[in-house]
Amino acid sequence: MNILEEIQNCSVEWKELGEVVDYEQPTKYIVSSKAYTESNEIPVLTAGQSFILGYTNEKDGIYQASKNNPVIIFDDFTTSKQWVDFKFKVKSSAMKMLTIKDEFKSEVLLRYVWHYLGTINYKPDQHGRQWIGTYSKFLIPILPLEIQEKIVQILDKFTEYVTELTSELTSELTLRQKQYSYFRDYLLNFDEDGSGGANNKVYQVERKMLNEFLKKGKGTKITASQMKLLHKEGAPIRIFAGGKTYADVNYGDIPDKDIHTEEAIVVKSRGIIDFEYCTEPFSFKNEFWSYSSDNENINLRYIYHYLVHNKEHFQNIANNMQMPQISSNDTEKFKIPVPSLEIQSRIVQVLDNFDMVCHDLNIGLPKEIELRQKQYEYFRDKLLTFIAEGVYTESRVE
Give per-residue pLDDT as tens, 173-215.
788 878 888 878 888 887 655 555 554 555 678 899 999 999 9
- Domain ranges, ordered by start, for the chain: 15-143, 206-338
**390: alpha, beta or left? (left if phi > 0; alpha if psi -120 to 50):** left
Q: What is the pTM of this model?
A: 0.59
Tell me the mean pLDDT in the region 211-230.
96
Instruction: With a cut of 60, say whether residue 377 has pLDDT above it.
Output: yes
- The pLDDT, as a whole number, for residue 361 is 66
Q: Tell me: the pLDDT tens digits for 7-64?
A: 666 778 899 999 999 999 999 999 998 888 888 999 999 998 889 999 999 999 999 9
- Exposed e or buried b per residue across 333-369, where buried means at least 16 C-beta atoms within 10 angstroms of its C-beta: ebebbbbeeebbebbbebbeebbeebeebeeeeeeeb
Q: Which residue in 379, 219, 229 sits closest to 286, CA to CA?
A: 219
Q: Do domains 15-143 and 206-338 have the same CATH topology?
A: yes
Beta bridge partners of 383: none
SS3 8: helix
Strand 237-240, strand 282-284: pairing: parallel
Terminal Cα-to-Cα distance of the chain (whole angstroms): 28
C-alpha span between 297 and 176 (Å, rounded): 31
pLDDT tens-digit readout, 96-133? 999 999 999 999 999 999 999 988 988 888 888 999 99
Least confident of 116-125, 143-152, 163-172, 330-339: 163-172
Q: What DSSP string describes 239-297? A: EE-STT-EEEE-TTSS-GGG-B-S-EEEEE-BSS-EEEEE-SSEEEBTTSEEEE---TT
Q: What is the CATH number of domain 15-143?
A: 3.90.220.20
| Cβ pair 334, 207 in contact under 8 A | no
Secondary-structure class of domain 206-338 per CATH: alpha beta
**3-class state of residue 397 by DSSP:** coil
User: What are the φ/ψ torsions at residue 127 (nearest 5 degrees)?
Assistant: -75, 125
